[in-house]
Amino acid sequence: MKNDEQDIIKRILSGKTDDFAYFLDTYGQQVFNLIVRIVRCEYDAEELTQDTFMKCFESLSSFNAKSSFSTWLYRIAYNTAISFTRKKETEVNVYDENIWNTISDTEIDDTMNDESEENIKRLQKTLSMLPPDERGLITLFYEQEKTIQEIGQILNAKESSIKVKLHRIRKKLYILMKKEEEI
């Protein structure tokens, strides 16, 4: 953790609560971007971002610096957004063993690396079909460029599990994109 952030936390815990604005300014937009990608509604994301920072502030004394502050904050944001969406979403099932097992990583890479306007639109549409936890994982890895290790800390999961999930989500996106192409 950055020493200056550790100092800011100490000041906040000693009563200088106005210093918490540093964290809002530094991480507010990134937290909002993660949450809006999961919940798909800016209004809800604004509320959940506020909830995230309130939870963070209220729990600041329990921050143990085993991970970076940002990792701890992202965990709170991710869990807040996922809890919110659990009641609302149903998963899109694309698992067909015959198709699933015949897809090569090369096919997936070729499709995902196609930057044509049509392909990007199809990708955006299929991303919105994913359940919130999968959208959150994709957002952390591809958009926020978090490492597998950081995502593991944020989600409290093993790195191997994160790698497997990312691989499966990429396959799922590929299948959904191919189905969209047929429509």
Please indicate, yes or no, whether residues 105 and 172 belong to a single structural domain of this protein.
Answer: yes
* DSSP character string of 108-152: HHHHHT---HHHHHHHHHHHTTS-HHHHHHHIIIIIS---HHHHH
In a domain? residue 91: no
What pLDDT shows up at residue 55? 95
* Tens-digit pLDDT profile for residues 111-128: 878 888 888 888 888 888
Structurally, the chain folds into a number of domains equal to 2
* Tens-digit pLDDT profile for residues 17-31: 999 999 999 999 999
In a domain? residue 90: no
What percent of the chain shows pLDDT beyond 70? Answer: 90
pTM (two decimals) = 0.66
Distance CA 114, CA 89 (A): 29
What pLDDT shows up at residue 177? 85
In a domain? residue 168: yes
User: What is the domain extent for residue 155?
Assistant: 97-182
Please indicate, yes or no, whether residues 173 and 105 belong to a single structural domain of this protein.
Answer: yes
Please indicate, yes or no, whether residues 9 and 75 belong to a single structural domain of this protein.
Answer: yes
How high is the mean pLDDT in each 10-residue block of the chain (183 residues)? 80 93 95 93 92 94 89 95 77 58 79 82 86 89 91 91 90 84 71
